[in-house]
Amino acid sequence: MPDKKRKLHYYPGCTLKEKTTHLDVSTYAAMEILGYELIEPKNWTCCGAEFPLNEEKIIGLTAPIRILRQVKIEGGDKVFTVCSFCFNVLKRANEAIMSDSLKHKRINAFLKDDISIDRDSGEKTTDFKQYNGDVNVLHLLEFIRDWVGYEKIRSLIKRDLSGIKVVPYYGCRLLRPKGKMAIDEPEDPSIFEEFLENIGCEVIDFPFKQECCGSYLSLSMPDAASEASYNILRSAKLSGADMLALSCPLCYYNLDTRQDRIKENFPDSPEIPVLFFTQLLAWALGVDEEVLGLDQHYCNPRTALGIDESEVKK
């Protein structure tokens, strides 16, 4: 008899529903095989993308706290994200409300006047529930390590990825600020490597795995971001990798979608496929190629995944 699916709150964030749908879809596909039914908090909004570093910009914390409060109202005690930015903002906002009584008081005061309008029914809800930081915010890599367990993943693997050489790319938001994210040691992380090994890939180390790709500077200072991204891609290629795996949609934009712009500045920039870790997970778990959204990539990852191009269905 198949196991009953366990319900789990999942916060996708704005980019996953519009620009990087392959990250969202591969997450759903992989989590279903692992035995989870994902629930998105009702009426979720953008988390704000950036945790406000100015102590007085408290209003920037209301959106993430409103999302977490909704998870609590729906009976959830944890929520996971795959986007590193969402993870960073939700986790730090949660920590801020727990460690700072003034912030706790002020954010709850903002939320007290909230009128929530249901998107489907148009129904207004005004009942106030105080939020005290009691929802556990997790990244999917962390959830897999601490809750699912690598053993379970290994037992469900359908495809052999052993010939694929992958470099894990952490970027910035997953690990830092030091002491706040607590998912792994920021200067010497291993969670991504362990994940990749357990789904069967050959993991390659490279020196730029924690370097910043340029983040939002790809809009305001595109040349600086191109150089930072070029250094990462070049290092990955020189390390002998077939592909680079990551979790953040903004890193994906800088390292994959912008590869043509990087080439304008650096003609020797290597073409290297960039995949979301959930795509690799779903692929290892036997999910169909169509579901992975491989045609959304600038750099075609099919060959690196061992897919025979001539057999690809039209």
Partner 1 sequence: MRIKLKFDENEKKFVDRVSELSGENIYSCYQCGRCSAGCPFAFEMDILPNQLIRLVQMGLKEELLGSKALFLCASCFTCQARCPKGINIASIAEAARDLIEPKGKDYFGPEEVPPELADELPQQALVSVFRKFSK
Residues at the site binding partner 1, with contacts judged by CB under 8 A: 13-15, 18-20, 46, 48-50, 52-57, 60, 83, 85, 171-172, 175-179, 186-187, 210-212, 214-221, 223-224, 227-228, 249-250, 253, 257
Q: Is the Cβ of residue 35 or residue 52 nearer to partner 1 in the bound state? A: 52
| Measured CA distances, 111 to 7, 117, 204 (Å) | 26, 14, 46
In angstroms, how far is CA 86 from the centroid of its own chain? 8
Q: Is the Cβ of residue 135 or residue 232 nearer to partner 1 in the bound state? A: 232
Q: Is the Cβ of residue 49 or residue 67 nearer to partner 1 in the bound state? A: 49
- Cβ 210 to partner 1 shortest distance, Å: 7
- Cβ 105 to partner 1 shortest distance, Å: 17
∠160-165-170 over CA atoms, to 5°? 110
| Measured CA distances, 294 to 46, 99, 126, 190, 303 (Å) | 26, 43, 43, 27, 11
- Cβ 2 to partner 1 shortest distance, Å: 36
Angular region, 205: left φ>0, alpha ψ -120 to 50, beta rest: beta
- Cβ 256 to partner 1 shortest distance, Å: 11
- Cβ 233 to partner 1 shortest distance, Å: 14
Q: Rounded to whole angstroms, how far apart are CA atoms 175 and 170?
A: 7
Q: Is the Cβ of residue 83 or residue 164 nearer to partner 1 in the bound state? A: 83
Q: Is the Cβ of residue 15 or residue 279 nearer to partner 1 in the bound state? A: 15
- Cβ 7 to partner 1 shortest distance, Å: 27
- Cβ 241 to partner 1 shortest distance, Å: 20
CB 13 within 8 A of CB 86: yes
| Measured CA distances, 97 to 77, 88, 132 (Å) | 16, 14, 7
Torsional sign, CA 263, 280, 136, 28: positive
CB 59 within 8 A of CB 114: no
Q: Is the Cβ of residue 108 or residue 218 nearer to partner 1 in the bound state? A: 218
Q: Is the Cβ of residue 221 or residue 238 nearer to partner 1 in the bound state? A: 221
Cis peptide before 52 (omega within 30 of 0): no
